[in-house]
Structure 1
């Protein structure tokens, strides 16, 4: 198998033995610190992390590290348990939706009703702030219709890039500072808040509406397989393929151009990310007999990710222009 630098998290666990897959957890050693909090403790805007739509990432679960980071910056963080058209947007300054629609059904049904999508679109247009995160399949398909309301297309599969040598594929995608544009999310409030790099761990690709800023440009030549079995089949084929380009063409398609987007929408603001693990802090702990070292992924493995997450929130809430 030639899956170089295989991303941790859902993908790595899916490829591991079932007994090892039980070792994934929030990193107990992750302690976010913010040297210059944006707000006094618990005096900042209200951030609601959606939990009403079979979300895989929740405030006290996979997104506990992100919630802790936001609290350290002064935000008031709460779980959202109501539908968007039934009070779920009341009193909310920023809505975070991360990996809604955690279901094994095929095809994946939309995670949001038409009425909820209409309510959310109207809320953002009137000045609401939305951070929408949808990862690799099945999460892209579950959020696809909602994203389309804001002019965003989702690849819905597993994005990957070929390594420098050209023979291996990787789903760990690192975006260095030299690839960033001039958006305030990268610049921060001053030089101390500049984002140095961002790493995504698996995920899908995106395309934004006209006028959207691409925050994370997909690597040149990046591809996307429709699902995990197809990605695994491609990795296996690359072991023996005399003509690897043919296997790549058969089992994947060109990725959409982005993995992160930011844009104004009416009086509101929207950021869309194609990967959720970058704003968490996860640990895969293997038993000693496995011979494998523990693996970390997210803000505990890529130091620029926490700054990226804070700057996203600062832009959404108007601290950045």
Structure 2
């Protein structure tokens, strides 16, 4: 069931695998303006649950850059790397419902399964589901899925219907390196922070049904979702560390903010009006929130 909250709470949740780039800025700006335009709160969460992927100095760089660009978050910052005990507690709830099993399948083995043509991911075939693999063997933990259709309405992309068992299969909720998967951690954190709406990149659109499935299993409410189009480079690739996206710099903040506003559908007249009445980056964001309309973001 989707929430119908009295108070809006949004969030931005970057992974510290590198410095913020223009694509990160667009996502941060969309979620921030949406929250402020609703008179709500905006939380900052650092998704560093996978400590092996953290780039040295990235967390400090992310926080400094957001401040330089005028972002102001509410409440304390959450760091997923400090919340393993919380995730384990909720994993225990799933275990008591007989939904968790140990999986020793390798990536090579899983690559022999059928592939989901939309997501490009291999569908888990259920090999370890009834084998009762001992915990002393290196293993991941998967959640059992059933022939259930998950349907949700995205504010920008419309309705998505997915059969979890057929399109995804039993998916990992605890990694073999002994930390929570992204899917489990994000669902728990959104619940505990009271997130009412998630504004994020469209690269996560097809992963939303499995998060809703976890919410159902844990008796959580489902937030509203809006997936904005990701920023692509000249080769049609998503901007990321892997595609060597350039970090955004403090000295280019004003120009980058204007470019991001343009990407989110602000017309030139409105952009100019915002710039004229804004003395600094904080005021650019404050004034942009007055004119922000999520529906102007087009695919």
- TM-score using structure 2 length: 0.27
- TM-score using structure 1 length: 0.26
Structure number with higher helix proportion: 2
Structure number with higher strand proportion: 1
- Report 1 or 2 for greater relative contact order, CA contacts < 8 Å, sequence distance ≥ 6: 2
